[in-house]
Structure 1
Amino acid sequence: MYIHQKNIITAGIPMESADKAIVFLHGRGASAADIIQLNQHLKVTDAALFAPQASNHSWYPYGFMAPEKENQPALDSALELIDDLVAEIVANRIPLNKVFFAGFSQGACLTLEYISRNAARYGGAIAFTGGLIGETIDRSKYTGDFMQTPVFISTGNPDPHVPVSRVEESGAILKEMNADVQVKIYPGRVHTISNQELELARKMVFHL
């Protein structure tokens, strides 16, 4: 088992002069350098960009619907790394309501898990093909008020890694926690990010 080291790629505007921040979380087998390139499509121009790199290119060893204990201590380490990064961003005078998250696949699951365990009024969150983590969803882990944080969640149907049922269940829980959730299911879409999803995310989360 491994613990994630602090290894964060940055881009965009320097944090000291940025209006907002985006935390990008990559998928299994991918890299921080890959996921931070998503902003070429999102086209957010006034943000400091951050992308942590997972050890061995994986945030946790097994599927996101494996029993949670099988994905420890890697999962807790990943959540702690994000929490430390968010604290650093806020310490540099970018408030939580200007902090955004964007993840794909394993990174999308981690995005939803982090924000739901730490509900607040964030700038927004994008989960391209993801759901809350665990063999079953333990609702007791998720408390607090998103105060209408915009959250976009998508998946293909069927997706080889993320069942539609888990995406829908996750979206419903975030709605219960007062997030402004949009869930989009794309019939026959392969495990990727489509231009349509990028456009919807830009409009819903970044109002572009």
Structure 2
Amino acid sequence: MFDVKKVPNGGIWIPSTKKDSKWVLVALHGSGGSSENYRGLEAIFNLPQLNYLFLNGPIREYANFRWYGDSAESRQRALEYLAVVFDQLMSAGFPASKIFLMGFSQGAALVFEFGLRYAHLFAGYIAISGRIEDLPALLHQKRAHIAEKGRWLVTHGSKDYHLSVIVMRDQVEKLKNAGLHIDYREYPKIHEFDHRKELPEICQWISHLAPNR
């Protein structure tokens, strides 16, 4: 069990229905969203081995949250915020090797930005409809063992006019050239989740890496 009340801006913790399971899916919302955006995902995925941690970003805007603003300093504070949360999660008995990090939009950017810089290798990284803010800096600062051993699922909408799919294609190609193992998939969607095909395929990808045994 993880005490989500210890997280500065809170979130939602949904325990696994499988006793003592250490698998965790940590989900990061987009800009102007909240942990509530992911409520119900556990029913869609129906993976009994997973615990779920839906986080709120560090910047509060009335009932909603953001992860960072326009500056590099703001992005750095978001990385520090996540480092505290993941250190707490691992201290609670959930090893990095059983954690999946998933994010949408601004949250997806942090899957890359945080995931490649954090010292510990996660079970998998899932970036949905995102964009890396400063790819050259990230490629320079990435941890070699994360780039070499990490497993990444990156999805985007071919009709996404909020964050261009052309930019994401280019960034994925550069990440692959840097040694990342990326499974890249596009869907005929705008800047949103595709419940018909995308989410079931994400679920399948997770279940392959986190078998229910």
Give TM-score, length-normalised by structure 2: 0.78
Question: Aligned pair 1:12/2:11, yes or no?
Answer: no
1:15-60 CA-to-partner distances (Å, cap 9, x unmatched) read: x933211111001121112124323222222222212212222112
Structure 1 ranges of 4+ moved more than 6 A: none
CA distance in 1, matches of 2:21, 2:78: 25
Aligned partner of 2:36 among 18, 29, 33? 33
Identify if the C-alpha distance between structure 1 residues 119 and 37 changes in structure 2 by more than 3 Å, giving closer, same or farther: farther
Any stretches of 5+ residues in structure 1 without a counterpart? Answer: 62-69
Question: Aligned pair 1:49/2:52, yes or no?
Answer: yes
Quick check: 1:97–1:122 contact (8 Å CA) kept in 2? yes
Identify if the C-alpha distance between structure 1 residues 116 and 170 changes in structure 2 by more than 3 Å, giving closer, same or farther: farther
What is the Cα-based RMSD across aligned positions, in Å?
Answer: 2.6
Q: Percent identity?
A: 22
Which residue in 2 is equivalent to 1:90? 90
1:133-182 CA-to-partner distances (Å, cap 9, x unmatched) read: 23x53221223223543211111124222222332243335435654311
Task: Report how many aligned residue pairs link the two structures.
Answer: 194
SS in 2 for 1:74: helix
Any stretches of 5+ residues in structure 2 without a counterpart? Answer: 1-6
Identify if the C-alpha distance between structure 1 residues 51 and 71 changes in structure 2 by more than 3 Å, giving closer, same or farther: farther
Which residue in 1 is equivalent to 2:156? 155
Letter in 2 for 1:33: E
Which residue in 1 is equivalent to 2:183? 182
Quick check: 2:29–2:37 contact (8 Å CA) kept in 1? yes
Quick check: 1:36–1:50 contact (8 Å CA) kept in 2? no
CA distance in 2, matches of 1:24, 1:178: 25
Question: Aligned pair 1:59/2:62, yes or no?
Answer: no
CA distance in 1, matches of 2:91, 2:112: 23
CA distance in 2, matches of 1:154, 1:130: 8
